[in-house]
Amino acid sequence: MEGVWVVLLAFLTCGYFALAGFDYGVGLLLRLVGRDEPSRREVLRAMTPFFLGNEVWLVAAVGVLFGAFPRLEGELLSSQHSVFAVLLAGLVCFTVAVQLRSPGWDFLLVGGALVVAVGWGVLLGRVLGGPSVLWGAGFVALFSLHGAVFLAWRLSGELRRRVVSVAVSLVLPCVAFVVAAVLTAGSVPVPAFGLVAVVVVGLLGGVWVALRGGRYRVAFGCSALVCALPVVAVFGARSVVTVSVMADLSTLRVLTWAAVVVVPLVLVFQWATWRMARAAR
């Protein structure tokens, strides 16, 4: 049962990075891609139908963390409290700015997206023993790439050509980040980390090829996996520690009944969100 909860937490966290990652990427690129107010509104309209559905993954993952991994939650909050405080501030600013967006809110929208991207990168980098600056900058690049690929899929005309150019230009910096992350993560002896890095580089190559060929859905699938796989590396690095800080077995049995209800609801809500957005397009 312990293994099931580790897999569930990893699954929900990967889902959050793979989907909400493009929300933050769109926020980071808002002023770069949208060069006037009408184009900025079009950029945000492409993302906002998916926004709340994507954030549900984070809510579910936090619920699992607090319920099934109480000691891990305590250790993370005590050791990384400053990172979590900044992350929370960025999430609040970004969410409020998206919901109440007007030209005057762009500073909070872009700034919130930047804080979230850097914050997640710093947190994962610290877990894997890598330099915080490298991981913060690397996640800005990864989320920006993911957001650009998403916009290439959802937009058309001049805006699509613009974001495709941005996405293609971001592939090489993302590859450089992955290589540098492997070379600087020596404090965490994870044999699988190198394999994950090879897969990520291969997926980045897939993004480049798919964009060049106009296969935007394929490119989006590749970039979603690119954003999720660093989470896999973290769980691979900390799997033994994660199991050791779980709740007792009786608590896990009770939580399992809640998970049987909640996880399918998350999946159904996500499916319905994408279905409605597709029908409205």
28-40 pLDDT, tens digit per residue, is 999 999 889 999 9
In the prediction, which pLDDT does 241 show?
47
Query: How many domains, the chain?
Result: 1
Question: For all residues of the chain together, what is the average pLDDT?
Answer: 86
Using an 8 Å Cβ cutoff, are 95 and 48 in contact?
A: no
Neighbours of 280 (CB within 10 A): 7
Mean pLDDT throughout 92-106? Answer: 86
Residue 246, CB-side half-sphere exposure with 13 Å CA sphere:
25
- Residue predicted with more confidence, 244 or 45: 45
216-254 pLDDT, tens digit per residue, is 999 999 999 999 998 888 777 655 445 556 666 777 777
The whole-angstrom separation of Cα 170 and Cα 182 is 19
In the prediction, which pLDDT does 59 show?
87
In the chain, % of residues over pLDDT 90: 50
- Residue predicted with more confidence, 183 or 78: 183
Mean pLDDT throughout 58-87? Answer: 81
Neighbours of 183 (CB within 10 A): 11
Q: What is the pTM of this model?
A: 0.89
* C-alpha closest to that of 46 among 77, 25, 15: 25
Q: Which CATH number do you get for residue 180?
A: 1.20.1630
User: Which residue segment(s) compose the domain that 80 sits in?
Assistant: 2-280
In the prediction, which pLDDT does 240 show?
45
Q: Vertex 181, ends 177 and 187: CA angle to 5°? A: 170
In the prediction, which pLDDT does 280 show?
52
In the prediction, which pLDDT does 243 show?
54
117-166 pLDDT, tens digit per residue, is 999 999 988 888 889 999 999 999 999 999 999 999 999 999 999 999 99
Helix/strand/coil (H/E/C) assignment for every residue in 24-81 = HHHHHHHHHHCCCHHHHHHHHHHHHHHHHHHHHHHHHHHHHHHHHCHHHHHHHHHHCH
Residue 89 has pLDDT above 90, yes or no: yes
Measured over the CA atoms of residue 218, residue 222, residue 225 and residue 227, the dihedral's sign is negative
Q: Which residues of 82-109 are buried (b: 16+ CB within 10 A; e: fewer)?
A: ebeebbeebbebbbebbeebeeebbebb
pLDDT band at 186 (very low <50, low <70, confident <90, very high): low
In the prediction, which pLDDT does 2 show?
67
Sorted by sequence, the CB contacts under 8 Å of residue 149 that are 6+ apart come out as: 22, 167, 207, 211, 216, 219, 220, 222, 223
The whole-angstrom separation of Cα 139 and Cα 132 is 11
The angle, 0 to 180 degrees and rounded to 10, between the axes of the packed helices 37-68 and 2-33 is 160
pLDDT band at 268 (very low <50, low <70, confident <90, very high): confident
Using an 8 Å Cβ cutoff, are 184 and 131 in contact?
A: yes
